Amino acid sequence: MDVLETSKFLDEELYSRQLYVLGLPAMQKLQGAKVLLSGLQGLGAEVAKNLVLMGVGSLTLHDPHPTCWSDLAAQFFLSENDLGKSRAEASQELVAKLNGDVQVCVHTDDITEDLLLDFQVVVLTASDLEEQLKVGTLCHKHGVCFLVADTRGLVGQLFCDFGENFIVQDPTEAEPLTAAIQHISQGSPGILTLREEDDTRNFRDVDLVTFSGIEGMVELNGCAPRPTRMQQDGTLEIGDTTTFSCYLRGGVVTEVKSPKTVSHKPLDAALLQPCVVAQSPQEVHRAHSLHQAFRALHTFQDLRGRPPKPWDPVDADKVVDLARALEPLRRADGKPLEEPLDEVLVRTVALSSAGGLSPMAAMLGAVAAQEVLKAVTRKFMPLDQWLYFDALDCLPEDGESLPNPEDCSPRGCRYDGQIAVFGAGFQEKLSRQHYLLVGAGAIGCELLKGFALMGLGATSSKGVTVADMDHIERSNLSRQFLFRLQDIGLFLLSSQRPKAEVAAEAAYRLNSDVQVTPLNYPLDPTTEHIYGDDFFSRVDGVVAALDSFQARHYVATRCIHYLKPLLEAGTQGTRGSASVFIPHVTENYRGPTLATASENAPYPVCTVRYLPTKVEHTLQWARDEFEGLFCLSAKTINCYQQARTSLVDTDGPQLLTLLKVVPGVLRERPQTWQDCVVWALGQWQLCFYYGIMQLVLKDGARFWAAPNLCPQPLEFDATQDMHLLYVLAAANLYAQMHGLPGSQDKPALREMLTLLPLPDPQHLASAEPGPEKVQELHKALQVWSVGPPLQPLTFEKDDDSNFHVDFVTAAASLRAQNYGIPPANRAQCKRIVGQIIPAIATATAAVAGLVGLELYKVVGRPRTLSAFRHSYLHLAENYFSRWIPRAPAVQTFHHLKWTCWDPLKVPAGKPERTLKSLLAHLQEQYGLKVKMLLQEGALLYSVRSSPEKQAQRLSLRVTELVQQVTRQMLKPGQRVLVLELSCEGETDNTTFPPLHYKL
């Protein structure tokens, strides 16, 4: 097979989020891959879209069949103008526009053996069994990875054959474990003690390790992988170290991932001995019945020359008969499987098999594209070998009427593929909806694409409202399907375009029937005048695609307040989840709260400054250094220059510290690049030599005894790359702050540093400068008053030319060297400090498809709890799980019962009731004797208030009282006041429902 020559250039900005999932070696392999994709209906379009967005080297499309109406329900590269045209040829131009770095070709002839030799991977979708067997046999013969993907209505099938000796070089998504070493003994076996208890637990299942950075026992540094075994006390046996030097200090142990070999059967054998991906014996049995259903559908097609008609009972019965007559499936040992065919399942599959649905194509297309990535990169374990996915729970539940053939017959419209499954009546209901989509990022774009194909809100004047305040960046383009290069402002005089606006325009191009209204405002407490009572009264449901728990919680509280269904999804790497929350039916959203979500929580200051033990501590320190040196200090000195105050009156040592770092070792304001280098070199000496020396001497040997890590000062060496990078980055940032030109010339800088004497910044290391030092600083700052204000720098992670990430990387690495901590590389630093969430197009598409499936249920007739599904998937590990949500928890107080969806409702009345009337109503209607009443934290009433105050307030109208206490007018269009209760007889566990005072 041919492989494209991989370009040395990889657009790291474009693929930045994906690089954190795949890594650079895998991305380079992907750039050189050649893939043949046959079949360009909805499923094929999804596979093509994902592969091109992710940057496959070359994609050849094959599908000579003409476009028909039923294709348009899921095929977003085609439109009404393409009816009758070859699907592949009509799709090529739009596929190619997704990524200019990918070669997109069309093959118009038959698939031959010679053709297959040109590709590493071949994918067949919407193909008949005869073609699958022919192509699969040839691919297996020549070592070409082979996939079959198919969807029939609400069921999907995926098959992988990567050959009998396929080596997976990196089986898991997780980075290799690393840990700091506390001690290594000399012996047979040598015993390694890790520094952190958490690391001990992590290394429990590690088989092979290697070492770096060890002082003393240097024989282990860079050694071949050594087997390890954990002992009961948590230490690790690492083999014979008897002849090695004595261990002194430091070092890192790193897990070595072991390649794994996968053996796949060819399709002809796997048809009768299917190995299925499933999480339970019940799922295995269901998958076997679905396997037979697909075989029977192929047989029906061969016999009748057509698929079964939509919801035709005669055709469905024939498919069941054909499934019964199939050769029985066999176990791995060749013996027949002793399990009955689920005939009800097979019949349901046959009845609904004629349609093509966008959410199903999105889900199966995502998994198929991920398997292509596994084939070309040899990263992550491939499917073994069949995957069956069904969403038949979208159909009406037991006892309800199923669609009839007349309602599901073709209409000659773009929704025919969806009508074939759910009927024209359902399509009409779908078209009348008004939904709010919160977030137009990667998942939001996929959702909006799905809404357009489904026809959500197609006949509604409101349709879909999409809310997002962000603008498009280059890193969005490898995952966010609706955006293109011209949308990021590179070719325009204007700035980057808003995501919501561009997404709305792109959705209109997909389906001009769908009305999408963009709003460039976030959904948060500051915009409740926009997304208020009037807005939500017109909304049928909310779909959230947000990347912060805080934002998700807020949207969920609004949905609870307005009793609106909420569907939400999220991803991290190849993991993804989709959830559905229905008023009065399911529990409410229960993601991590602000108190428990720890991804952004700061580390203790003393740990970061003095006692770091892991790389995250050094990165926090480096990030704080950036903020103090190049942002806060500039703002502070600007304020000082404007106020012209005396330093004697300056508020506290922290402010003095911010002021003194600006001059540093300089006595005059910098005028040249060399001045900036001198300042940066002085800062290096202060942070990594003098500051460390002072810290060690101040606290003494007793403080630095184990387990505290005693830091070691570093000697500056311009020949060491990280030393040089720190000075280069710091000098450039200092120059930017002073409006001076910088330099990127490392050789020239290295030569300059060999000629410069090392500055002596000892006077800067003092935490509490005396009067003389204060006077010296005052004189230095007077010099800085001559010239323009300093330019504070705001940390920006996505511009690799601004030295921001370079500074943090170098500073954290040097700090790690001080403490003998394993350092992070630049990519890891950027991800951690920039709080970047690893992301890839496949996981994004998959969760959007799962949300779309739940949307079918929400829009249809009211459903019971058992109809709905939460979902979780991990594409790298072939894990797929769907489960029924929990019912809402019921709370009680005396005779009252309520859930989170049940507010107390009290009408304001005409004329409006007083506070006294409200309290009396609550006691008469609900038996609640209120002792405290609040509105957004403001105390309206308390039994502990003075009689005079109570009497004055009891006589006021409720709205008058609220405005008087809060000193705020009611919001325009506000229909409800939300009040909080505290009542007599409550316990610590009682949480009363909110009181909705309806105006």
Residues carrying an active site annotation:
606
Sheet holding 103-106, edge to edge: 103-106, 58-62, 34-38, 121-125, 145-152, 155-161, 386-390
CB within 8 Å of 449: residues ≥ 6 apart: 76, 358, 481, 482, 507, 510, 848
499-510 helix and 442-454 helix, angle to the nearest 10 degrees: 30
The first and second tokens of residue 881, run together, are 């799980």
Across-strand partners of 998? 907, 976
**Chain-centre distance for alpha carbon 828:** 16
Across-strand partners of 35? 59, 121
β pairing state of 870-874 and 575-581? antiparallel
Q: What are the backbone angles phi and psi of residue 357, rounded to the nearest 5°? A: -115, 135
Q: Report the alpha-carbon distance of residue 22 to residue 698 in Å, rounded.
A: 46
Q: What are the backbone angles phi and psi of residue 827, rounded to the nearest 5°? A: -65, -40
**Chain-centre distance for alpha carbon 551:** 14
Q: What angle do CA 658, 662, 666 make, to 5 degrees?
A: 140
583 preceded by cis ω (within 30°)? Answer: no
Q: Report the alpha-carbon distance of residue 723 to residue 680 in Å, rounded.
A: 11
C-alpha to C-alpha distances, 33 to 99, 145, 378, 845, nearest whole angstrom: 15, 12, 12, 21
Dihedral of the alpha carbons of 552, 553, 558, 559, in degrees to the nearest 10: 70
Cα radius of gyration rounded to whole Å, the chain: 33
* Contact criterion met (CB below 8 Å) for 455 and 490: no
The first and second tokens of residue 467, run together, are 């809310």
The first and second tokens of residue 610, run together, are 């003095």
Q: What are the backbone angles phi and psi of residue 388, rounded to the nearest 5°? A: -115, 130
Across-strand partners of 330? 336
β pairing state of 145-152 and 121-125? parallel
C-alpha to C-alpha distances, 509 to 417, 452, 516, 603, nearest whole angstrom: 19, 9, 11, 48
Q: Report the alpha-carbon distance of residue 426 to residue 418 in Å, rounded.
A: 9
* Segment (H or E) for 808: helix 804-819
Closest Cα partner for 430 from 347, 498, 357?
357
Q: Report the alpha-carbon distance of residue 144 to residue 140 in Å, rounded.
A: 6
* Contact criterion met (CB below 8 Å) for 612 and 815: yes
Burial profile 171-207: b = 16 or more Cβ within 10 angstroms, e = fewer: bebeeebbbbbbbbbeeebbbbebbeeebbebbeebe
Q: Report the alpha-carbon distance of residue 119 to residue 38 in Å, rounded.
A: 13
Q: Report the alpha-carbon distance of residue 888 to residue 886 in Å, rounded.
A: 6
Q: Which residue has the tokens 């991989």?
A: 6
* Contact criterion met (CB below 8 Å) for 17 and 475: yes
Residue 263: CB atoms within 10 A of its CB come to: 11
Burial class of residue 381, CB neighbours in 10 A (0-12, 13-18, 19+):
middle
Q: Tell me, what amino acid is at 253?
A: V
Q: Report the alpha-carbon distance of residue 723 to residue 719 in Å, rounded.
A: 8
Closest Cα partner for 188 from 106, 243, 257, 260?
243
